Structure 1
Amino acid sequence: MAVDAVIFDIGNVLIEWQPERHYDRVIGEDRRRAMFAAVDLHAMNDRVDRGENFRDMVVECAEANPTFRADIMLWHDDWLHMASPVIPHSVSLLRHLRRRSVPVFALSNFGIETFDIAKPEYPFLTEFDRAYISGHMGVIKPDAEIYARVEADCGLAPERLLFTDDRVDNIVAAAARGWQTHLFEGPRGWAEKLVAEGLLDEKEAGL
């Protein structure tokens, strides 16, 4: 099936997103494990990704968990250190697709404020033909609604969208709507998929 647009997730596809790794460096693995066992920080972040205010959510969580208050505030203050580093090969693939005039979209669980923080640090985040950011949409993957809204906005048939994401549940939800999908397990596999689909040649894909 031909591909009319390629859709990238962002976290762990274009930018590494490993909060636990950053906390291990800053507060140590033992305290990080204790904090994550006591506080559902990823659920807090889901609220941000649904459009609630970034700082307000972190402060609310910190105040509710005084034992870890200072550490939880690092989710706000050190956010760019958690959302790093860039995955250069993936960025190169995005840019080569655009040079070929292949429409490239983003579909990412990302907060309104955090996306604004990230764009100056990672200019390629401004290069998508369309960016579907969950915070602005008020819904997160893998809710079927977010995929339906992408389809409605771009006007392309689901079976002509090729989507990559590092999370199986997000891929399964997209496939259920008829999207072509690729589970991202590293940029090389994604590059090979783009070559197999005739969207890039091996040189462009860095193979």
Structure 2
Amino acid sequence: MTPRAVVFDIGNVLIEWRPERYFDRLIGPEQCRALFAAVDIHAMMQRIDSGAGFGAEIARTAAAHPDHADQILHIRDHWCDIAQPAIPGSVRLLLALKARGVPVFALSNFGAENFPRSAAQFPFLTEFDRAYISGPMGMAKPDPAIYAAVEADCGIPPACLLFTDDRSENIAAAAARGWQVHLFDGAAGLAQRLETAGLLSQGEHR
């Protein structure tokens, strides 16, 4: 069945989110290992993605880990330096789908306060026909409720949605609802999937 809309995750699909690599460069490998061993940065971000306030949750986490407070607060103060760069091949695919008139949606675990910062930095994040951002929705992948909310809002049958995400648990949750899925491992693989689905030809995104 030809998809009627393509649904993009954002982190590590359209923009990179690799805080370990960032802090490795910023404070060195030894201090970076100590930071991530002591503080579950990804759990903090999941709380933000699920609706907690960006600044408030980071401040709370910093207060709970005074030995690493400066590094934790650095995430709040330098978000746009960490959540980057763009992944050019994926951006070309997004814009090529738009140019062809294929509806493109975002379904991303992203905080309500930090998503607008990234959208201002990367204007292609404003190109979606519909953007389902977990923080404002108060729910996050892979909770089945967030996929149900997308279905209810867009009105497209699950079997006509093609979803790409870099996390296997998020893909599995979508597939369980009948969505077409693609586990993202690079723009070339996604391009092939879109070509196979009949949504793009090679000349439209090269």
- Both structures adopt the same fold (TM-score exceeding 0.5): yes
Q: TM-score range by the shorter chain?
A: over 0.9
Partner of 1:68: 68
Q: Deviations over 1:18-58 (max 9, x none)?
A: 01111001111111111111111111111111121111111
Gaps of 5+ in 1: none
SS at match of 1:107: strand
Q: Does residue 70 of structure 2 align to residue 47 of structure 1? A: no
SS at match of 1:105: strand
Superposition deviation, residue 137 in structure 1: 0.6
Q: Deviations over 1:116-165 (max 9, x none)?
A: 11111100111100000000110010010000000000011000000000
Partner of 1:34: 34
Q: Does residue 195 of structure 2 align to residue 195 of structure 1? A: yes
Q: Check the 8 A contact 1:4/1:160 in 2, yes or no.
A: yes
SS at match of 1:203: helix
SS at match of 1:35: helix
CA distance in 2, matches of 1:26, 1:76: 15
Superposition deviation, residue 75 in structure 1: 1.2
SS at match of 2:141: coil
Counterpart of 1:93, as a letter, is L
Aligned identity (percent) is 57
CA distance in 2, matches of 1:75, 1:30: 19
Q: Check the 8 A contact 1:49/1:112 in 2, yes or no.
A: yes
Q: Does residue 61 of structure 2 align to residue 57 of structure 1? A: no
Superposition deviation, residue 204 in structure 1: 1.2
Superposition deviation, residue 205 in structure 1: 3.0
Q: When the two structures are aligned, how many residues end up with a matched partner?
A: 206
TM-score norm. by structure 1 comes to 0.98
Partner of 1:174: 174
Partner of 1:82: 82
Q: How does 1:1-207 map to 2 (within 5 A)?
A: 1-206=1-206
Q: Check the 8 A contact 1:49/1:134 in 2, yes or no.
A: yes
Superposition deviation, residue 74 in structure 1: 1.0
Q: Deviations over 1:58-106 (max 9, x none)?
A: 1110111111111111111121111110011111111110111100000
Superposition deviation, residue 9 in structure 1: 0.3
CA distance in 2, matches of 1:127, 1:70: 35
Gaps of 5+ in 2: none
Moved beyond 4 Å, runs of 4+: none
CA distance in 1, matches of 2:168, 2:140: 14
SS at match of 2:107: strand
CA distance in 2, matches of 1:45, 1:141: 13
